[in-house]
Amino acid sequence: MTPGAFDPLRALRTLSRHDVRYVVIGGLGARLHGSPSVTNDTDVCCQRAPANLERLAAALRQLHAGLRGADGDAPFQLDAKTLDGLTVAVASIEDLISMKRAAGRPKDLIEVEVLGALRDEVAQRAREPGA
């Protein structure tokens, strides 16, 4: 491996050693389920609880993580507060579908289908035992 190259196993092991609650998503998640697609990155979704964000920040510091594409002199404090980000209100799936349908452009009508399928999948999961 090239020095300084990203090592996904090292990253995942570091997250686990720090007891970070996370799940692998994206292309690698699909690959681990048997997808033949190849990916060059590792995407994870982490629990947003403050204690978990503290553990995540510690793991990222150990991995010498930084801001991608930023100047090396850019100020960046790697801590839970920085990772917590911004909480925003998001329109419901039903409202988004209504807005896209009202816009009526071809790309919006495609998104109506995507959002409808997502809504149906969420509803189906909610009906499953143990949900």
DSSP 128: S
Is the domain of 16 the same as that of 63? yes
**Per-residue confidence (pLDDT) for residue 123, from 0 to 100:** 92
Let me know whether 122 and 77 are in one domain. no
Distance of CA 39 to the CA centre of its chain: 15
Report the pLDDT value the prediction gives residue 76, as an integer from 0 to 100.
84
Q: Are 24 and 30 in contact (CB under 8 A)?
A: no
20 and 55 assigned to the same domain? yes
pLDDT of the chain, 131 residues: tens digit per residue:
566 788 999 999 999 999 999 999 988 888 888 888 888 889 999 999 999 999 999 999 999 988 888 887 788 889 999 898 777 788 999 999 999 999 999 999 999 999 999 999 999 999 998 87
- Domain range holding 119? 93-127
Residue 3 lies in a domain: no
pTM of the complete model: 0.63
Number of domain units in the chain = 2
Q: Is residue 1 assigned to a domain?
A: no
Backbone angles phi, psi at 49, to 5 degrees: -60, 140
Say if 64 falls within a structural domain: yes
Element (H, E) at 83: helix 80-84
Inter-residue contact 45 to 29 (CB < 8 Å): no
- CA-only gyration radius of the chain, Å: 19
Task: Determine the Cα–Cα distance for residues 104 and 76; give it in Å rounded to an integer.
Answer: 42
- What tokens appear for 82 in the block? 């920085």
Same-domain pairing of 76 and 107: no
Identify whether 71 is part of a domain: yes
Domain check: are 26 and 76 in the same one?
Answer: yes
Tell me what pLDDT residue 53 has: 96
The residue among 80, 41, 45 whose CA lies nearest residue 60 is 80
Question: How high is the pLDDT of residue 61?
Answer: 95
Residue 97 host element (H or E): helix 93-103
Q: Is residue 2 part of a domain?
A: no
Same domain, 73 and 118: no
